[in-house]
Amino acid sequence: MTGGVHLGASRNYFAVHVDDVFAADDRWDTELNCTPGDVDCPGGGGTPDPIRMTAADVDHATAWQRDHGFTLDLVYNGAGSVDQRAEHNGADALADRLIAERGKFRWVNHTYTHAFLGCEQNVTVVPWRCATNANGSVKWVTRTAISNEIATNRVWGQSIGLPLQNDELVTGEHSGLKVLPQQPDDNPNLGPALADNGIAWLASDNSRDPVQRKVGPATTVSRYPMNIFYNAGRAAEQVDEYNWLYTSRAQGGSGICEDNPATTTCLPAPLDPATGYADHIVPLETRIALGHALAGDPKPHFIHQSNLAEDRLAYPVLGGVLDGYRALFANDTPLVNLRMKDIGVELQRRAAWQTALRNGGVTAYRVGGTVTVSAPNGVAVTATVPAGTTLAGRAFGSAYAGALSGWTASAGQPLTFALPSSAAAPGTAAKAGKPDKPGPVTVPAPRTRIPVGVSEPPAPNAAG
């Protein structure tokens, strides 16, 4: 009916951030039901047993990317390698291999030491709480400390030749941003420190900060946490922690589900340690992530370097998403794999477009072979049109799913798309069986159905 023309664009997206690269992640203790070395073990109990990728894990990652036609975003902490070399007489096989293969990945600044950049944490209690001054006010990590974490990691990355986008940042644990219940407000020093370092795109956790917003000069990009735990290198560890979190106290669990029935991952019974990861967690996480992709949601997902190490827990889920998607779609409808700042721009454009639509600021109409769209100044216009369509004499958009689609800037003046001659006008069809006499024929509009109890047909919708 529309001749392949409509406002908007439908594309499917998938991006995966791997946090803590070069650093190590603390390991879950299956006896203590906490993570020694992190803030959740009472009194600092247990013995830390960190998980860190190896050079072989890098080789596996590069081969997996090649086989799947997909690029991972490595979110890195330079101090992890500096400390490793200091402890091993200058040796760091992992860093050496990552540096050699640096061009095969995208890279994002994750701060130098992965320090917590919100309030100063009082970790003598579990859960931790914000430290306070004598007058009861919150003790905040300073602007200087935040800025140093950002700048030092950037300089370190540049020194080893990482191909960085300097305006992207992921803080450790998304810290600096509000985190409930302990810290209901952003660190007031975060915005100024971002400005000091030219940060335009700042990652946030979609589970607690899902709406794109401004923090100083930066705009947030919400990321989906995948339920593949940062503190598990082995499948048995993942299942043990999963059972602890999502079963009842009577079953040996934490009781989170009893205290918060809205938790969606609750289990009726503990998973089998030998099979629970492959049989339950992998299919569930695959289905959730694939659902985001099929919904056209560009927000990235995030995991941790520990998930590419040891049992390499991430790959069954990530491969399941990619394989599942390709089983559903033709090659001309690929998953779009964007870096963080490009995802931020896409989300920003969508928000501005939806606001303009709600406010009645967008008009569009078709006359013959042209489509004219008007939007407020500064609001990018999105449209899907047949192949061969031009805008101001130039090709528009890019190919996807058998059509052209994309965004174009608007200065508040009408934009006129010229459709190809092959795009039939709505309400016309070729005369069947008469190729020597081409031309349109009028197709009568269907009779409007009149609901029961209504004596007159409704007026036509002039606005479309």
Residues 305 and 23 sit within 8 Å (Cβ to Cβ): yes
Residue keyed to tokens 């004499």: 393
Residues 371 and 419 sit within 8 Å (Cβ to Cβ): yes
Q: What is the DSSP secondary-structure string of 97-151?
A: HHHHTGGGSEEEE--SS----SBPEETTSSS-EE-B-TTS-B-BPPHHHHHHHHH
Q: What is the DSSP secondary-structure string of 2-44?
A: -TT-EES----B--EEEEEETS-BPPPBTTTTB-TTSTTSGGG
Given this model, what pLDDT does residue 450 score?
A: 33
Residues 17 and 337 sit within 8 Å (Cβ to Cβ): no
Q: Minimal CA–CA distance to 316: which of 46, 98, 64? A: 64
CATH of domain 11-340: 3.20.20.370
Over the stretch 353-391, which tens digit does the pLDDT of each residue have?
999 999 999 999 999 999 999 999 999 999 999 999 999
Residues of the chain with CATH 3.20.20.370: 11-340
Looking only at the bridges linking them, the beta strands covering 218-225 and 301-304 are: parallel
Given this model, what pLDDT does residue 2 score?
A: 77
Which amino acid, one-letter code, is at 379? V
Could you report how far apart the first and last alpha carbons of the chain are, in Å?
Answer: 13
Residues 273 and 238 sit within 8 Å (Cβ to Cβ): no
pTM of the model: 0.90
Residue 157 to residue 192: CA distance in whole angstroms: 22
Over the stretch 221-263, which tens digit does the pLDDT of each residue have?
999 999 999 999 999 999 999 999 999 999 999 999 999 888 8
Identify the helix (H) or strand (E) that includes residue 262. Answer: none
* Phi, psi for 442 (deg, rounded to 5): -80, 130
Q: Minimal CA–CA distance to 188: which of 223, 137, 150? A: 137
Which residue ranges in the chain fall short of pLDDT 70?
A: 1, 424-464
Residue 55 to residue 95: CA distance in whole angstroms: 8
